[in-house]
Amino acid sequence: MSLAAVWAGSPVMLRERERRQQWSRVNILEKPRMLECLRMVADLTRLDANWDGHGSAKIQSAALSTAVGIMLQAPLEYLPMPHVCPVSGGSVGLHWRAGERELELTVLGNGAIEYLAVPGQRLEDEASIEEGTLSPGCAGDVGRWLQWLIEA
């Protein structure tokens, strides 16, 4: 048996081949909407402190990484493009509108997420507006709200 054949069958090479196969299934370069959303979040890193002229903090790294995590988990092919913006205090704002529904997420500087889910434009719908805060590390819970938005 040749040395190349032994190396190809080694545990190191088998793990490397497995790793390549795993990541080859997730190719964001084939998802232009994903790239655009990630670019919008990345653009916020260019803002310095006092970006709004009122002393607001630089966008915090925990807010940026949580926003990226949300974009990576979001089924963007089924959602309208989000509006991504800086929010005072070093936070990131993500806003979607689908039909009459709106979902607004504010990713705080510590990675916590405040959400506001508005079911419709009519005044009688005001009672069914939901808002709350998700603890840092709970970005996976945003999936519930994204699914709600898709069902609009």
In order, the DSSP letters of 83-118 are: EEEEETTTEEEEEEEETTEEEEEEE-TTS-EEEEEE
Residue 113 within any structural domain of the chain: yes
> Residue 126: which domain range?
31-150
Residue 104 within any structural domain of the chain: yes
Residue 13 within any structural domain of the chain: no
Residue 18 within any structural domain of the chain: no
* Model pLDDT, residue 2: 42
0.85 surpassed by pTM: no
Residue 84 within any structural domain of the chain: yes
Residue 21 within any structural domain of the chain: no
Which residue ranges of the chain lie beneath pLDDT 70?
A: 1-30, 122-126, 139
Residue 137 within any structural domain of the chain: yes
Residue 116 within any structural domain of the chain: yes
